[in-house]
Amino acid sequence: MSRSTNLFLGVARSALGRPWCNRLDGPGLALAENLVQVEGLGDTLARVLAARGVDGAHLAAFLEPRLRDLMPDPLTMTEMAACVARLEQAIARGEQVAIFGDYDVDGACSSALLARYLEAAGARPRIHIPDRLIEGYGPNSEAIRMLAGEGATLLVAVDCGTTSHEPFAEAMRLGLDVLVLDHHQAPVELPPITALVNPNRQDDLSGLGHLCAAGVVFMALVALSRALRLVGRAAPLDLLRELDLVALATVADVASLTGLNRAFVRQGLAIARARERPGLAALMDVAGLSGPLEAWHFGFLIGPRINAGGRIGDASLGARLLTLDDDIAARDIAAQLNDLNRDRQEIERAAVEEAVAATDAALVREGPAPVIIAASTEWHPGIVGLVASRLKERFRKPAFAFALDAAGGGTGSGRSVIGVDLGRAVRAAAEAGVIVKGGGHAMAAGATLQPGGLAAFSSFIRPELAAQVLAADAADALLIDASLTAASVTPRLVAELATAGPFGAGSPEPTFVFPSHRLMDAQVVGAGGHVRVRLKAGDGSIASGVAFRAAEQPLGQALLARRGEAVHVAATLAVDRWGGSERAELRILDLAEPSRT
């Protein structure tokens, strides 16, 4: 079905310049009807499930995903057997194991998960998270020499290390064996180490490339537990109780919430809600979490606080917090991370304002570009990924932000839109010698510039991604699951829809249209520039909603300009539990004018 014949309410161009399209085609509508008639589902939930390809035969398995049904044999991953054998040896010998992790949430969770297991099994783990400013990303020779000097005989890199040829050569020269448990995109040539387990290496056929690093570590520990049982040893940890770490990392790293990852997050959320891990419980408290923990809390409340240590403070705080069994120590570190997160927000806000102004000026001066690139000598390297994310959200283009040094070199991060593979393009830039190093995955990547190398990077990356961006722009429709009225916005409906979750990357949150509702009120609230609205349906029912960080953007301006008018509003649904009460409301994504569709 072509886009023109699948427009939802005939909206070809919304306030954000997007067509609205029905997520369901003809066969999908028939499947939804079958789920209603045969399975007894409500119409709205049936449409949501049908749009995600769920039929009656797979309904129960989708609504209650179980690891035992979805877990493949970990040994299908290339070099996993060698990795497990070396970890088993380290446990048997009680070796000192240096765990080298990334400074983001996935790195912290991966490091904590592996360290807890090895310590319980009798090895002596020591976590090292590099300082972003001093050491940069990934293993480095100086840190490896320090770890070897402390007595480490095995180095395990988690969430990093796939391209660390020189540091690992130094490690082996010093007598360390080296393992890697990673998930980032990999070139053909890999470091010649004991074992490099990465489902995205080009010779891996496991089909597990959607796992984050914590997922890869979990798979390794499943295989290790099996190996220990074969020699008469019990597994030192109940790995199912560690799924809260895997779920947190999966959501925070924007991994696809499909298949095995969906089971990880569903079961990990259940573990986290029990508040058995002091570090996570303390983070929930300092974040002011009200109501039951949901997947989005990992990405927007918990994750940013763990990341704050790696961005502008002590990079090891997050990993240390997640290994703790002591409530008092956990509360102390959580408070430190919360303070750092508050400082990070202020630093980020100033940098984003500068980046947006510079990008607006460049658009006027040079016209549209396929990739937004912003840079400054004033930005903290720890927040450039956040700046890139805000630029991507505002301009709906892939975006890079760089923190430059006095010589015009520096580090940067990129964030992408669906359909544009940043990791591959950045790796190509590194292989071509345009940048010092770089890599990542489709939706996020990092790059280190040579002195004065920003122009060369721009000249390479924009044509490299132009065709993908053009195709992504052409496909940039807002997909709609169903139409609703204000009266249907209830906590009960939100709870019903949640059974199809968790929602996130690869599993889009259901989007609904509220057709021809009168925009009774729209006003800017909060320091973040949110726009809060009230909508009234033809039957007199009223629903409230909010467009986050929209006041100065086209969506917010359109909402404020159309007060009192009848509009089509596109939104997702959520439950607001502020003040102890519970009410459902809209999270507004877009709007269109009925008279102009």
Query: 326: buried, middle or exposed (CB in 10 Å: 19+, 13-18, 0-12)?
Result: exposed
- pLDDT at residue 5, rounded to an integer: 58
Mean pLDDT score, 344-371: 95
Of the chain, the end-to-end C-alpha distance in Å amounts to 20
Residue extent(s) of CATH 2.40.50.460 domains in the chain: 3-64+478-596
Domain range 3-64+478-596, its CATH number among 2.40.50.460, 1.10.150.300, 3.40.50.880, 1.20.1600.10: 2.40.50.460
- Dist CA 279 CA 338 (whole Å): 12
Alpha helices in 432-553 (DSSP H): 454-474, 491-498
In the predicted structure, residue 39 carries a pLDDT above the cut 90: yes
In the predicted structure, residue 3 carries a pLDDT above the cut 60: no
- Distance (Å) of CA 518 to CA 247, 542, 566: 40, 9, 4
Amino acid symbol at 126: R
Over residues 143-162, the pLDDT tens digits come to 999 999 999 999 999 999 99
In the predicted structure, residue 256 carries a pLDDT above the cut 90: yes
- pLDDT at residue 225, rounded to an integer: 98
476 vs 522, higher pLDDT: 522
Q: Which of 7, 14, 213 is nearest to 100 (CA)?
A: 213
- Dist CA 346 CA 350 (whole Å): 7
What architecture does CATH give domain 70-338?
Answer: Alpha-Beta Complex (3.90)
- pLDDT at residue 597, rounded to an integer: 40
Mean pLDDT score, 453-459: 97
pLDDT band at 56 (very low <50, low <70, confident <90, very high): very high
Residue extent(s) of CATH 3.90.1640.30 domains in the chain: 70-338
- pLDDT at residue 263, rounded to an integer: 96
- pLDDT at residue 595, rounded to an integer: 64
Residue with tokens 């999966």, as numbered in its chain:
250
In the predicted structure, residue 1 carries a pLDDT above the cut 80: no
476 vs 459, higher pLDDT: 459
- pLDDT at residue 474, rounded to an integer: 84
368-474 is a CATH 3.10.310.30 domain? yes
Mean pLDDT score, 324-339: 97
pLDDT band at 577 (very low <50, low <70, confident <90, very high): confident
Whether 578 and 542 have beta carbons less than 8 Å apart is answered as: no
pLDDT band at 317 (very low <50, low <70, confident <90, very high): very high
- Distance (Å) of CA 375 to CA 123, 359, 570, 595: 45, 10, 34, 42
Residue extent(s) of CATH 3.10.310.30 domains in the chain: 368-474
Cα 400 from chain centre: 17
pLDDT band at 434 (very low <50, low <70, confident <90, very high): very high
- pLDDT at residue 2, rounded to an integer: 47
**Per DSSP, what are the bridge partners of residue 327?**
none
Mean pLDDT score, 438-456: 94
DSSP 13-26: S-TTS--EEES--H
Q: 224 — phi, psi (to 5°)?
A: -65, -40
- pLDDT at residue 475, rounded to an integer: 85
Percent of the chain's residues with pLDDT above 90: 91
Q: What residues contact residue 548 under an 8 Å CB cut-off, 6+ apart?
A: 528, 530, 587
- Dist CA 190 CA 186 (whole Å): 8
Q: Is the peptide bond before 502 cis (omega within 30 degrees of 0)?
A: yes
In the predicted structure, residue 427 carries a pLDDT above the cut 90: yes
- pLDDT at residue 458, rounded to an integer: 97
In the predicted structure, residue 567 carries a pLDDT above the cut 50: yes
pLDDT band at 521 (very low <50, low <70, confident <90, very high): very high
Alpha helices in 59-104 (DSSP H): 59-63, 67-70, 80-93
Stated length of the chain: 597
Cα 154 from chain centre: 30
In the predicted structure, residue 217 carries a pLDDT above the cut 90: yes
Kindly report the average pLDDT of the chain as a whole number. Answer: 95
Mean pLDDT score, 57-81: 95
Over residues 264-305, the pLDDT tens digits come to 999 999 999 999 999 999 999 999 998 889 999 999 999 999
